[in-house]
Amino acid sequence: MRDGLRRAATLAGLLGGVLAVTSASAADPIKLRVADSFPKGHFLIKLVIEPWMEGVRKRTNDAVVFEHYPAQQLGKAADMLRLTQTGVADIGYVAPAYAADKMPVSEVAMLPGAFEHTCQGTLAYWKSARSGVIAEQDYDKNAIRLLIAVSLPQYRIFTVKAPVREAADARGLKLRSTGGAQDLTLRAIGAVPVRMAAPDAYESLSRGTMDGLLFPLDSVVAYGADKLVKYATDGIGFGSFVVAYSISDAAWKKLPENVRKAMVDAAEEVVPKACDQIQKTEDETKTRLSGAGMTFEALKPEVRAKFSDEMKGVAKAWAQQLDGRGRRGSDALAEFTKLIAATPAK
């Protein structure tokens, strides 16, 4: 009898120990490494990824802890797709333009004049990249899942030595480009694209190896290039850029269902707010830089018409180029155009 009681007590003690370990393990937070190339304090960190991480944290009652590595601490911007796929980063800033050879269809959102307000481009991309042609061609094929994304305001031409007042002024200018659709755009207006990631633009510009930048306004400030450029075009868009954070399919499947739901719900809340804030931020930055001495050249109607005429074939050429590679460029263009039409400019 005593032996039976001793065995029962021993078994209960062992079981209690197992339960305690299990309970402690269950209480341990899930740690996820988030990597991007933005400098610390960048406006997109503040408006996009930080609110999203905070939203996930709250929705999971601190069951998820994010370790954020900005400024290319885990790797270069051009390598983020591979770093995310291999698990070096659990969540990576996978900008499609920096991985254009593997994610070319996303560039439909970067074509010149594709949209007016940032939220138009953002919401159209958001839909297509989760359940449309972009999702199938760029995300599924690369075994990654989009978590959150925004489209930036239309790009401007920034120059150091002389303003662009006429279409002819852009010809021959060496301007920073992300490649792909932006290369097509710059060649269409007679400029010379110089491919590089945003963090490298300042050094190249300061050395005089470029005449200027094809950039969104707030990124000029974020990377310090506002100290170098003196002139900016105003009145026409020369394309855009998609800022996107993704997770590998393998990492996504390992997450508990409640965490996955929290990530989706947080993104649904943040995306519409972020795109609106980004547009407002650009307007405020323009006013501030004008006061600090930067000249914004308001292009005359005939100059805007000339640029538009030069760029009107870019979208079709881009789509046909992808069709030739079996990547459904024309389908993506048609779908994106339809989604833009369904999202009125604010």
**Contact indicator for 63, 30 with CB cutoff of 8 Å:** yes
Among 186, 176, 253, 262, CA closest to 215: 176
Weakest-pLDDT range from 47-51, 82-86, 179-183: 179-183
Give the three-class secondary structure for 203: helix
Give the three-class secondary structure for 97. Answer: helix
User: Position of tokens 């755009």?
Assistant: 185
pLDDT at 24 over 90: no
- Residue 31: pLDDT band with limits 50, 70, 90: very high
76 contact partners, CB below 8 Å, separation of at least 6: 37, 197
Q: Does 197 score more than 80 pLDDT?
A: yes
Which of 24-33, 67-76, 142-151, 260-269 shows the lowest mean pLDDT across its residues?
24-33
Mean pLDDT of the chain: 92
Mean pLDDT over 81-100 rounds to 97
What pLDDT shows up at residue 22?
A: 34
Confidence of residue 8 (pLDDT cuts 50, 70, 90): very low
Q: What is the pLDDT of residues 201-217, one digit of tens each?
A: 999 999 999 999 999 99
pLDDT band at 344 (very low <50, low <70, confident <90, very high): confident
- For range 183-198, the mean pLDDT: 96
CA-CA distances (angstroms) from residue 129 to 84, 103, 121, 215, 339?
17, 11, 12, 23, 12
pTM above 0.85, yes or no: yes
| Residue 169 CB-half CA count within 13 A | 18
Tokens linked to 148: 């959150």
- Residue whose C-alpha is closest to residue 125's, from 103, 144, 145, 110: 110
User: Is residue 20 very low, low, confident or very high in pLDDT (cuts 50, 70, 90)?
Assistant: very low
Q: Nearest CA to 31 among 52, 73, 62, 58?
A: 62
Per-residue pLDDT at 14: 37
Could you give all domains of the chain from N- to C-terminal order, each with its CATH number? 156-240+281-341 (3.40.190.170)
If you search the block for the tokens 């779908």, which residue do you land on? 335
Q: What is the pLDDT of residues 214-260, one digit of tens each?
A: 999 999 999 999 999 999 999 999 999 999 999 999 999 999 999 99
When pLDDT is cut at 50, 70 and 90, the band that residue 15 belongs to is very low
**Mean per-residue pLDDT for 129-153?**
98
Of the listed ranges 11-20, 51-60, 110-119, 154-163, the least confidently predicted one is: 11-20
pLDDT in tens, 154-165: 999 999 999 999
Q: What is the pLDDT of residue 345?
A: 77
Share of the chain above pLDDT 70, in %: 92
Specify the 3-state DSSP secondary structure of 179: coil
pLDDT value at 289 more than 90: yes
pLDDT digits 0-9 by tens, 32-69 = 999 999 999 999 999 999 999 999 999 999 999 999 99
Q: Using 50, 70 and 90 to split pLDDT, how confident is the model at 120?
A: very high
pLDDT band at residue 5 under the 50/70/90 scheme = very low
Distance CA 105, CA 102 (A): 9
Q: Which residue has the tokens 């489209």?
A: 151
Q: Is the pLDDT of residue 25 over 70?
A: no
DSSP H helices in the chain: 2-27, 43-44, 50-59, 80-86, 118-131, 133-134, 181-188, 201-206, 217-222, 249-254, 257-291, 301-311, 314-323, 329-341
Torsion angle, CA of 272/277/279/280, rounded to 10 degrees?
Answer: 140
Distance between CA atoms of residues 57 and 61, nearest Å: 6
Q: Report whether pLDDT(26) > 60.
A: no
Q: What is the pLDDT of residue 23?
A: 31
